[in-house]
Structure 1
Amino acid sequence: MSSKLDQLKSMTDVVADTGDIEAIARFAPQDATTNPSLILKAAALPQYSGLIDDVVKNTLHDADDPIQLQSAATQLAVEIGAEITKLVPGKVSTEVDARLSFNTEAMINEGRRIVQLYQTKGIDKSRLLIKIASTWEGIEAAKVLEQEGIECNLTLLFSLVQAAACAEAGATLISPFVGRILDWHVAHGAKPANANEDPGVQSVSAIYSYYKQHNYKTVVMGASFRNCGEIEALAGCDRLTISPALLSELKEDNGDLPRRLSPEMSFASQAKISINEIDFRWAMNEDAMATEKLAEGIRAFAADQVKLETLLRGWNRHV
């Protein structure tokens, strides 16, 4: 029997959740997704030192200028993303600076800028997804970008109301975070007996069901997995973005992997959710897990963005 990774690829588009070129080449995913934390890790790899040299020399003329530092960090993310496009046949996700997560206009402008930077390297926007946090402001930014033909990946998504708002905005793809949902429930005393009882798995399954029932075209891409059991419980989901460590586990396992999700499945009926800003904010307020994990995720990505800029500032002094 083929590996579970190969079986998974037959029913789900597998995406590499990494900026490590060697890992992407090894597992041959359809797409790849990055974020500030992954770019920071990638920047520490020896194979990227030449890219960093070029970015610092060409874009960071004043290492104490915060605008230049932010610009250099974005340029580095694009440089790494451009290398990844050579290895995957599909799309590469590049994230907007998390510090802009509550500024719609700034996110729109940053999304446009990322696309322009890729285009100067000969990479068409059809190969890209602009990754934006699923705040109300982020969803509004994605609506504008999608209308301009710039496809978006709405990330840090933890609730059905976020998913419903993203679909209504016409987002190309959403990334519900399975593992982080589990983390919150475990921290509050829950201990699911198996993957089917995992609250993160249940959340993604409910979102998948909701989208299929109401004929939304937005792609559901489960993300942030803690173990292979979560991945196997979502086999058949539109896409799954998986870390190299878990991809390796799946590749080495030749057990049977049954399909768990399919558009043809019979789902429990879910009424269509009416979305406006007031209802969205109230629903998030009432969902402690989604509110806390969204805020925590934005803070973590913003902190890693600052660390990346600090790395570039230090690099500048040695170039």
Structure 2
Amino acid sequence: FGLKILQIIPGRVSTEVDARLSYDKQATLDKARYLISEYEKAGVSRDRILIKIASTWEGIKAAEILEQEGIHCNLTLLFGVHQAIACAEAGVTLISPFVGRILDWHKKHTGRDSYPPAEDPGVKSVTIIYNYYKKFGYKTEVMGASFRNIGELTELAGCDLLTISPSLLKELEGTTGDLPRKLSADTAKQLEIEKISMDKETFERMHQDDQMASDKLDEGIKGFSKALEALEGLLKQRLAVLEGDANKVRLASDLFQTYDFDEDGFITREEWGGTDAVFDALDVNKDGKISPDEMAAGLGAAHHLAAAAS
């Protein structure tokens, strides 16, 4: 799939290490090196690949070694400044702080329905990280991700990179008005910011003290792992279908039930736990939840067959 994308775009593609390896430094190194070797066998330079790794201490230390080998890394599931500092000190190429997921956590724990863009906790987190990097001259790029609205995007104008869903791009295209730059390296360099030296003990202490980052990293790893296991099950069932296994009709139904924790007939973003891009693609009517019909449309007719057989 990565090779197909590279045929379309001129830039880089991120390919993710199995989330189940997030706390295993050596296994992460082995998987990353394997992925790069496969791209290079296909004639793709490693300069066009970002190996995507969860921002655990073990993942960051693996990325530090990979960067020294010329393998560029994108550190994901990043929610706290301690993770960002550790990544910068490790010399990683790029980080992906999850703006929307930070907002989701604060809305859930405060009961608030919304925040003004400038007060959005995810926006404030990325702003702090960006200013810290520019103040101290770190080369690691900041790529804001997982956005919930265009207010978050406009409030982070000037960030190194932003990854934006097609629906929000369309909304931006239809919006007129000024777009002032909010983040600036020159401004950041004038700020009074305390530099923090990051070792494992400091990282673990700051992570424990940051309930949001702790919760969301754990949730993200479990969600991505579950998504991988579901995909593996899907592939196994598909192979069985090709071999004539009659149980194929229950595949999509089982997959839906895996994520519908409260059994209310919908999968919310919190229940999903996997990638926002996949959730957004499945959530056709953009109501913030996936219905059985939307899952069916995303997976194909197998879900309808399952419903008919049950």
TM-score (norm 1): 0.73
Structure 1 residue aligned with 2:45, among 121, 124, 138?
A: 124
Number of residue equivalences: 240
C-alpha offsets along residues 190-233 of structure 1, whole Å, 9 cap, x if unaligned?
63541000010000000000000000000000011111110111
The answer for unaligned runs of 5 or more in structure 1 is 1-79
1:177 matched to 2:90? The reply is no
Distance 2:84 2:110 in 1: 26
C-alpha offsets along residues 91-136 of structure 1, whole Å, 9 cap, x if unaligned?
1001100000000000001001111111122211110000000000
Distance 1:241 1:296 in 2: 21
Task: Name 1:88's counterpart in structure 2.
Answer: 9
Task: Name 2:22's counterpart in structure 1.
Answer: 101
Deviation at 1:269, TM superposition (A): 1.5
Task: Name 1:162's counterpart in structure 2.
Answer: 83
Task: Name 1:251's counterpart in structure 2.
Answer: 173
Q: Partner of 1:90: helix, strand, or coil?
A: coil
Distance 2:151 2:163 in 1: 14
Deviation at 1:263, TM superposition (A): 1.2
Task: Name 2:64's counterpart in structure 1.
Answer: 143
Q: Partner of 1:130: helix, strand, or coil?
A: strand
TM-score (norm 2): 0.75
Task: Name 1:198's counterpart in structure 2.
Answer: 120
The answer for unaligned runs of 5 or more in structure 2 is 243-310
Quick check: which has more Rg, 1 or 2?
A: 2
1:282 matched to 2:201? The reply is no
Task: Name 2:73's counterpart in structure 1.
Answer: 152
Distance 2:115 2:48 in 1: 40
* 2:17/2:28 contact within 8 Å kept: yes
% identity of equivalent residues: 55
Relative distance call for 1:193 and 1:98 in structure 2 (3 A) is: closer
Distance 1:253 1:118 in 2: 39
